[in-house]
Amino acid sequence: MSDANRRKRRTGPTVESLEERKTPSTVHPMSAVHPTALVRGVGDLFLNGTVTGTFRTNPAPLPDLASSIRLTGHGKVSPLHKVTVSGAISGTGLIATGQASGTIKLTNVKGSVTLNVTGPSQPGFSSPQAGTYQFTFAKGTGAYAKELSDGTVDLSFSGNNFTLTFHGAPNRF
């Protein structure tokens, strides 16, 4: 067959009947999972209150690593009521400027809440400094296993004593 005959035999687009085909499965648009439904928490803890205690400075284990502080104490933080606090915050190491960071654990008879904390910007090779730290919920146990929380905590020092003042924020999720 020649090229000229092939061109003449071409046909245009066609429409096929769909009557004999099955409708694909569908999902109702309102039944889609909302992104906030994927968050593990079911409640918000607006942590507000003050804890006090003592701290111990741990020197940096190597010259280019950060020193840290260990916190132990107690206080009252709503809605947890009476709590004991423990935690560690590391300063900055071999870096021009950075942020101190660590964890704080609040414990009562119903369970515990572990918070990740991140401090203000500070020079390299600095111990954790007083100031306002951001906190986010890391883990909960017992009655607080499915909670969420974030906010700020003010850290201040006086001699070998510390004060943490929590300011809970509405959950941004």
- The per-residue pLDDT for range 43-57, each reduced to its tens digit, is 788 999 999 999 999
Assess contact for 152 and 48: CB atoms under 8 A. Answer: no
Identify the pLDDT of residue 84: 98
pLDDT band at 8 (very low <50, low <70, confident <90, very high): low
Instruction: State the Cα torsion 47-52-54-57 to the nearest 10°.
Output: 40
- pLDDT tens per residue, range 98-121: 899 999 999 999 999 999 999 999
Q: Which residues of 96-125 are buried (b: 16+ CB within 10 A; e: fewer)?
A: eebbbbbbbbbbbeeebbbbbbebeebeeb
Q: Is the pLDDT of residue 38 over 70?
A: no
Identify the pLDDT of residue 158: 96
Q: Is the pLDDT of residue 170 over 80?
A: no
- pLDDT tens per residue, range 125-155: 888 999 999 999 999 999 999 888 899 999 9
Identify the pLDDT of residue 36: 40
Assess contact for 91 and 70: CB atoms under 8 A. Answer: no
As its CATH architecture, domain 48-169 has: Beta Barrel (2.40)
Alpha carbons 14 and 59: distance in angstroms, whole number: 79
Identify the pLDDT of residue 106: 97
If you average pLDDT over residues 162-167, what whole number do you get?
96
- pLDDT tens per residue, range 66-88: 889 999 999 999 999 999 999 99
Give 147: exposed, middle or buried? Use CB within 10 Å, 0-12, 13-18, 19+. buried
Q: Is the pTM of this model over 0.75?
A: no
If you average pLDDT over residues 28-42, what whole number do you get?
46
Alpha carbons 102 and 120: distance in angstroms, whole number: 13
Alpha carbons 156 and 163: distance in angstroms, whole number: 5
Identify the pLDDT of residue 128: 92
Q: Is pLDDT larger for residue 22 or for residue 80?
A: 80
Alpha carbons 123 and 6: distance in angstroms, whole number: 78
Alpha carbons 86 and 13: distance in angstroms, whole number: 74
Identify the pLDDT of residue 90: 93
Tell me the domain boundaries of the chain. Answer: 48-169
Quick check: helix, strand or coil at residue 9?
helix
